[in-house]
Amino acid sequence: MLGAGRWRGTRHTVWRNVTPTFVWKSLNNEALGLDNGGQVSRDFIFVEDMARGLMCCAKNGDAGEIYNLASGVETTIKELAETINDITGNTTEMIIQPPRPWDRSGCRFGSTEKSKNTIGFVAQVSLREGLEKTIAWTKENRANIERCMTQHDYFMERLNNDGPR
């Protein structure tokens, strides 16, 4: 979950993916930043569905074949943010930001036909249900997450002050 690379070297960018970043910030009543106005989209799938999908690949898939393990549901980043804020009760206004100059990712979601027809995989956990479970897990593990973030800060500070060893 912790970020990597130079551009992720602050406490506020320690997370490497949008869902844990938004969940953490929302639980702390922070504003969620929406690059490109939150209009880009993704296909979010809950970890338990992904695990089931990998098992379907192992049991029913053909070696060398490619299977999309996806929900098949397109969700904008703005919709994701609104759902997370709704679940957590965060009323802090979102920050609408321009597109990142390097980001050309646009809209992405997976075709699930082959996985359904060939290996029998269909995602079962809705976006909202998956987010509710993720938010509950985050609340239960807050102390450990904060410990990891503090440790990340310590190492980033040493790297910035001492250089790589």
Q: What is the CATH number of the domain that holds 135?
A: 3.90.25.10
Q: What's the DSSP call for residue 33?
A: E
Domain for residue 82, yes or no?
yes
Who has greater pLDDT, 137 or 104?
Answer: 137
Domain count, the chain: 1
Looking at the domain assignment, is residue 73 inside a domain? yes
Give the three-state DSSP class for 7. Answer: helix
pLDDT score recorded for residue 3? 43
Lowest mean per-residue pLDDT among 16-25, 42-51, 110-119 = 16-25
User: CA separation (Å) from 45 to 9, 10, 72, 91, 143?
Assistant: 27, 27, 9, 25, 26
Please tell me the distance from the alpha carbon of residue 155 to that of residue 56, in angstroms, as a whole number: 40
| Domain membership flag for residue 37 | yes
Task: Output the pLDDT for position 1.
Answer: 42
At 49-86, the pLDDT tens digits run 999 999 999 999 999 999 999 999 999 999 999 999 99
Q: In this structure, what token pair is assigned to residue 83? A: 């759902």
Q: Give the total residue count for the chain.
A: 165
pTM: 0.82
Q: Is residue 1 part of a domain?
A: no
Domain span at residue 110 reads 6-162
Q: For residue 125, tell me if it sits in a domain.
A: yes
